[in-house]
């Protein structure tokens, strides 16, 4: 028995290469967010950034209020802050000066079940941050390319080869993606956010920052030795003002 061919068979086949490339671009977004996360928090391991426990409660509250006002002022369609928010952005970006807080270090304020970390970067520290973010992104993308080539290249069909060629051609510059040239040229301010409902706090503390979680979030809030997924999962929101 043979099945009758479907009418117009082959005329409306999905473009598998295009679909795979779209998935690859979505994967790149994951790599970008992870690269930013690591670049923000790896300073203790890579650049001798100190963990400064005990950020003053009033200073922490002031910073939170300022961030909230800036977040409310921007459009949902763009991370670029409106011109009228410029003065407020400058005050927050330079708040370390009147408060006598060091650059590069992680200034930490704890509350029960909550942790606030503030870090200011300036001058060469900013350039180093973007270089590290690019390096993390490139490493993840290159590994993904190798995995996809190893898994698919043996097929040698036209669509697969086209997909692998397009994947090799993907190039994302972190300075462009994070609007660095626009910020420098037009003197604008940008506030972006990254949110995770279930950030692995042990991964962030032990692996990325390089310090046991109890030293950062406090012994009372640290996950137990035999931590469950629920123990490890923290709500997380990263604000990046530049």
| 61-76 tens-digit pLDDT | 999 999 999 999 999 8
Give the separation between CA 220 and CA 123, rounded to whole angstroms. Answer: 37
pTM: 0.86
pLDDT of residue 14: 55
| 142-156 tens-digit pLDDT | 999 999 999 988 888
pLDDT of residue 53: 95
Question: Where do the domains of the chain lie?
Answer: 16-241
Distances (CA, A) of 88 to 117, 139, 212: 20, 36, 35
Residue 80 has pLDDT above 50, yes or no: yes
| 97-141 tens-digit pLDDT | 999 999 999 999 999 889 999 999 999 999 999 999 999 999 999
| 6-48 tens-digit pLDDT | 545 444 445 666 777 787 888 899 999 999 999 999 999 999 9
pLDDT of residue 196: 93
C-beta of residue 202 within 8 angstroms of C-beta of residue 213: yes
DSSP string of 132-186, one letter each residue? HHHHHHHHHHHHHHHHHHHHHGGG--HHHHHHHHHHHH----HHHHTTHHHHHHH
Residue 47 is given by DSSP the state S
Give the separation between CA 88 and CA 92, rounded to whole angstroms. Answer: 6
Antiparallel, parallel or unpaired: β 191-200 and 233-241: antiparallel
pLDDT of residue 5: 45
Give the separation between CA 59 and CA 42, rounded to whole angstroms. Answer: 24
């Amino acid at each position: 028995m043979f099945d009758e061919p479907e009418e117009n068979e082959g005329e409306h086949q999905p473009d598998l290469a295009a679909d795979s490339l779209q998935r690859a671009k979505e994967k790149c977004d994951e790599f970008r967010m992870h690269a930013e996360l690591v670049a923000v928090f790896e300073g203790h391991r890579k650049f001798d950034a100190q963990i400064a426990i005990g950020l003053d409660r009033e200073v922490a509250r002031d910073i939170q209020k300022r961030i909230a006002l800036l977040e409310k002022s921007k459009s949902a369609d763009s991370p670029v802050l409106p011109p009228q928010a410029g003065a407020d952005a400058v005050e927050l970006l330079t708040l370390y000066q009147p408060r006598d807080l060091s650059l590069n270090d992680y200034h930490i304020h704890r509350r029960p079940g909550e942790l606030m970390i503030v870090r200011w970067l300036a001058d060469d520290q900013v350039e180093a941050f973007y270089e590290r973010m690019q390096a993390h992104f490139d490493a993840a993308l290159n590994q993904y390319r190798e995995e996809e080539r190893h898994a698919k290249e043996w097929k040698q069909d036209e669509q697969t080869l086209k997909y692998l060629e397009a994947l090799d051609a993907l190039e994302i510059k972190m300075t462009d993606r994070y609007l660095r040239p626009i910020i420098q040229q037009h003197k604008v301010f940008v506030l972006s956010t990254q949110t995770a409902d279930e950030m692995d706090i042990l991964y962030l503390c032990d692996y990325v920052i390089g310090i046991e979680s109890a030293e950062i979030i406090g012994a009372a809030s640290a996950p137990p030795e035999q931590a469950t997924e629920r123990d490890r999962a923290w709500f997380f929101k990263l604000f990046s003002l530049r």
